[in-house]
Amino acid sequence: MVRLDLGNVVLRRMKEEDVEAVKALIKEGCEGTENRLILHLLTRPLALLMLATLSSVLRFLVHSFIVALLIPVFLCIVYLKLTIPRYTGILGSTRPYWDYLGSCYRAGSEPDLPNPHAGKGKLLINQDKAKRRKKAKEQERGKTKEEKVDEDDLKERARVAGEVWVADCEDEVLGCVARDGWSRDGVYRICRLVVQSWYRREGLGRLLVQSLEAKARQSGIARVYAHVPFPSKVGEAFFRKLGYRLQGETAGVQDEEEEEDDYEEPEKGWLGFPVTKVFVKDL
């Protein structure tokens, strides 16, 4: 584990040159999650009953009890390997694949997320960046009509794709978090929270989430949702420490219930079993 000074971290939008690094980061964060989800689904009572029934039927066709037991399990694992990404997306996203190019739309013109650990020197650097972005924005006004059409297309893709924010330290992407483009009006749905294994337990994940919450609060967002894979005890404990509660739990008022309009449907997997837990926080 590497000691990290959070004051040197810049929280900025993902750019096109960051896409490959973010892809590698997300791939690292997904390791083991898929296998845990498969184990979770296969150990549900209904799934066990179905596997036992299929094994009993196969027992009349094959002479080996072990083979009759393994064939249904093997086929179910293959099926889940192929379909789980389509059901759950990746790390709490509503879609199995992410439009990285759409997420990079005008990334350089948007101000960085606030970092409460940054010192005055960092603030001056951010001010210089803002001036350069303003100058670049003025240069964009001379675009042709054809380029404008392409820009409109990118703008629509960006609306659907959402935003990806990265934690940058000395031109190295240490972590990322995203706002899902399918979030409803008045709410944020954060997903794809990943931190490099070398920089975990340094407060970087907390910084990413809290900075995105601050941006949401400034935009008038009243509620934030986070989907956590069902077997992830670490993710559940992480969001609870940040003040999130499991959807359905009371928010501190006796006999309070979740309003129907505010209900966030958890992602469903094989046989309709939920594969994510929905955590919510009122800003």
- Is 132 domain-assigned? yes
Q: CA–CA separation, 248 vs 146, rounded Å?
A: 50
Q: CA–CA separation, 270 vs 242, rounded Å?
A: 31
> 150 and 62 in contact (C-beta within 8 Å)?
no
> 6 and 117 in contact (C-beta within 8 Å)?
yes
Task: Provide the CATH number for the domain around residue 97.
Answer: 3.40.630.30
Q: CA–CA separation, 273 vs 264, rounded Å?
A: 15
Q: Which residues contact 27 (CB under 8 A, 6 or more apart)?
A: none
pLDDT in tens, 31-79: 777 788 888 889 999 999 999 999 999 988 888 888 998 999 999 999 8
Of 253, 231, 235, 257, which is closest to residue 244 (Cα–Cα)? 235
pLDDT in tens, 176-208: 988 887 667 778 888 888 888 888 888 899 999
- Is 208 domain-assigned? yes
pLDDT in tens, 103-152: 776 767 777 888 887 764 444 344 444 444 444 445 444 444 444 446 66
- Is 70 domain-assigned? no
Of 107, 111, 103, 42, which is closest to residue 75 (Cα–Cα)? 42
Give the per-residue pLDDT at 30.
75
Q: Which residues contact 4 (CB under 8 A, 6 or more apart)?
A: 169, 174, 199, 202, 203, 204
Q: CA–CA separation, 225 vs 214, rounded Å?
A: 14
pTM (predicted TM-score): 0.75
**Rounded mean pLDDT of the chain?**
77
Q: pLDDT confidence of 270, banded at 50, 70, 90?
A: confident
Number of domains comprising the chain: 1
- Is 213 domain-assigned? yes
Q: CA–CA separation, 120 vs 262, rounded Å?
A: 40
- Is 108 domain-assigned? yes
Higher pLDDT, 130 or 226: 226
User: What is the residue range of 214's domain?
Assistant: 6-32+93-282
- Is 173 domain-assigned? yes
- CA dihedral angle for residue 109, residue 113, residue 115, residue 119, rounded to 10 degrees: 20
Give the per-residue pLDDT at 252.
53
Tell me the Cα Rg of the chain: 22
- Is 167 domain-assigned? yes
